[in-house]
């Protein structure tokens, strides 16, 4: 078993907030003395079952807790998912059916166990306790929090000041999350920095229920592919855990140079010293930034698909984009053996959503047939097996007459 100092160093790496270091040390000491693992809580929203690298930041942290011998208590917010969380923007999320929530939860777990150790993970659904909760209990729970407290939360106060709507449901959400902590007797709760308020509220509510308050730790929010906003599904700037190796690699390569260090740290958990060494190598010209990013891409792919897949994705990428050759696996599109206009062909091949879009692509000079630029939108052709249509840098389709 690791010593207290070793555990503390590993556990607190890369964190942003920690409330508090002393409490954590005390708890770890007690855990070691009593040989009793700590219970590390994290909650998940099952409305969006696609895990991406942003989620991995916290999952990595949980894994590090597990490596120190602790137990992860994962809470799937199926109850809250069925209500429909309107948080964030004004758009109210759709209410999910019970079946859908369960289906999402299943998929969620499959993905998260690519990082977490199932043997040291407890999974709970919060409908276990909220499903049976009566309204008087809800009211009593709300008595522990004041509106002023809730308004202290950054995004609430901003929205309130800007006369933007805040739904009462949103006010209730932090309470729901806090009560989860009570029910699972969490020792520590992890979340993104945007969760700080909710996590801290968990402490208050635990105290109100006679429990020792959980230790709260927040992790940085990983910026997405646009380099500005946090990685999220709704912004479409994400790399999904379930993306193909090719996509993971390609998307990683499109991350800006400045940002790639964050990925080394938060996705791969590379120690700060190693990152500093890499940075120095790039700064001195000893290594080309492209090669460092290639290494990042390979390792990210390897994390989810194995070393071999990483190497392969890297090689394929070099072939297609550096040497400008055709990819090895081009999706085939079956077309009847009759004359067809280039625009309709592209739509059929999935290279454009409409003929109007196809027309624009041709006019922009983005479309090639067997690597020869198509100049005329009215071009008609007899389909022939094996002809490759190319649209831009990423769109490929091979014709199959049938």
Partner RNA sequence: GGUGGGGUAGCGAAGUGGCCAACCGCAGCAGACUGUAAAUCUGCCCUCUAUGAGUUCGAUGGUUCGAAUCCAUCCCCCACCA
Residues that bind RNA (CB under 7 A): 90, 163-167, 226-227, 249-250, 253-257, 289-290, 293, 317, 321-322, 343-344, 347, 353-357, 359-361, 363-366, 391-395
Residue 387 CB, nearest approach to RNA (Å): 18
Looking only at the bridges linking them, the beta strands covering 121-125 and 215-219 are unpaired
Q: How many Cβ atoms are within 10 Å of 261's Cβ, its own excluded?
A: 19
**Which residue is it, tokens 């920690």?**
18
Dist CA 244 CA 286 (whole Å) = 31
Sequence-distant (≥ 6) Cβ neighbours of residue 339 within 8 angstroms: 380, 381, 382
219 DSSP β-pair partners: 192
Instruction: Round to the nearest angstrom and report the end-to-end CA distance of the chain.
Output: 64
Residue 368 CB, nearest approach to RNA (Å): 8
Per-residue CA distances from 209 to 133, 205, 339 (Å): 16, 6, 75
Residue 253 CB, nearest approach to RNA (Å): 4
Residue 148 CB, nearest approach to RNA (Å): 14
Residue 333 CB, nearest approach to RNA (Å): 17
| Closer by beta carbon to RNA, 200 or else 239 | 239
Which ranges in 209-319 belong to alpha helices (H)?
A: 245-253, 257-266, 272-283, 289-305, 307-317
Residue 279 CB, nearest approach to RNA (Å): 13
Residue 393 CB, nearest approach to RNA (Å): 5
| Closer by beta carbon to RNA, 184 or else 361 | 361
| Closer by beta carbon to RNA, 16 or else 375 | 375
**Which residue is it, tokens 């120190």?**
68
Closest CA to 393 of 326, 347, 331, 328: 326
Helix axes 257-266, 53-67, angle to 10 degrees: 30
Residue 252 CB, nearest approach to RNA (Å): 8
* 203: three-class secondary structure by DSSP: helix
Looking only at the bridges linking them, the beta strands covering 367-369 and 372-373 are antiparallel
Reading the block at residue 91, the tokens are: 């758009």
| Closer by beta carbon to RNA, 188 or else 361 | 361
| Closer by beta carbon to RNA, 97 or else 363 | 363
Residue 285 CB, nearest approach to RNA (Å): 11
| Closer by beta carbon to RNA, 95 or else 356 | 356
| Closer by beta carbon to RNA, 134 or else 163 | 163
Closest CA to 80 of 149, 169, 181, 168: 169
Residue 229 CB, nearest approach to RNA (Å): 9
Asked if 276 contacts 282 with a C-beta cutoff of 8 angstroms, the reply is no
Q: What is the 3-state secondary structure (H, E, C) of 32-89?
A: HHHCCCCEEEEEECCCCCCCEHHHHHHHHHHHHHHHCCCEEEEEECHHHHHHCCCCCC
- Can you give the C-alpha Rg of the chain in angstroms? 25
| Closer by beta carbon to RNA, 81 or else 250 | 250
| Closer by beta carbon to RNA, 196 or else 358 | 358
| Closer by beta carbon to RNA, 49 or else 250 | 250
């Amino acid at each position: 078993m690791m010593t207290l100092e070793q555990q503390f160093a590993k556990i607190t790496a890369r964190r942003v907030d920690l409330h508090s270091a002393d409490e954590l040390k005390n708890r770890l000491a007690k855990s070691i003395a009593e040989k009793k693992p700590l219970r590390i809580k994290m909650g998940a929203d099952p409305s969006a079952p696609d895990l991406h690298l942003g989620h991995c930041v916290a999952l990595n942290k949980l894994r590090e807790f597990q490596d120190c011998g602790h137990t992860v208590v994962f809470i799937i917010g199926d109850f809250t998912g069925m209500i429909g969380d309107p948080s964030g923007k004004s758009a109210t999320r759709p209410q999910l059916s019970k079946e859908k929530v369960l289906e999402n939860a299943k998929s969620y777990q499959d993905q998260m166990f690519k990082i977490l150790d199932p043997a040291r993970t407890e999974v709970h659904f919060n409908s276990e306790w909220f499903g049976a909760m009566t309204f008087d209990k809800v009211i009593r729970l709300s008595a522990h929090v004041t509106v002023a407290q809730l308004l202290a939360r950054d995004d609430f106060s901003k929205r309130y000041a800007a006369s933007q709507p805040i739904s009462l449901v949103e006010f209730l959400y932090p309470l729901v999350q806090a009560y989860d902590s009570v029910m699972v007797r969490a020792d520590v709760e992890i979340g993104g920095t945007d969760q700080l308020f909710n996590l801290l509220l968990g402490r208050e509510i635990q105290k109100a229920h006679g429990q020792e308050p959980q230790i709260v730790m927040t992790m940085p929010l990983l910026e997405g592919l646009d380099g500005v906003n946090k990685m999220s599904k709704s912004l479409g700037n994400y790399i999904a855990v379930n993306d193909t190796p090719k996509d993971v690699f390609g998307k990683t390569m499109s991350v800006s140079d400045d940002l790639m260090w964050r990925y080394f740290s938060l996705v791969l958990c590379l120690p700060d010293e190693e990152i500093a060494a890499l940075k120095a190598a790039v700064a001195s010209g000893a290594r080309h930034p492209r090669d460092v990013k290639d290494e990042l891409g390979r390792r990210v792919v390897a994390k989810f698909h194995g070393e071999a897949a990483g190497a392969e994705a890297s090689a394929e990428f070099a072939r297609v984009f550096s040497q400008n050759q055709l990819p090895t696996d081009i999706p085939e599109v079956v077309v009847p053996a009759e004359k067809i206009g280039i625009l309709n062909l592209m739509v059929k091949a999935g290279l454009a959503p409409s003929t109007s879009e196809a027309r624009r692509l041709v006019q922009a000079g983005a479309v090639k047939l067997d690597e020869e630029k198509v100049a005329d939108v009215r071009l008609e052709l007899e389909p022939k097996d094996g002809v490759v249509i190319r649209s831009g840098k990423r769109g490929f389709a091979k014709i199959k007459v049938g």
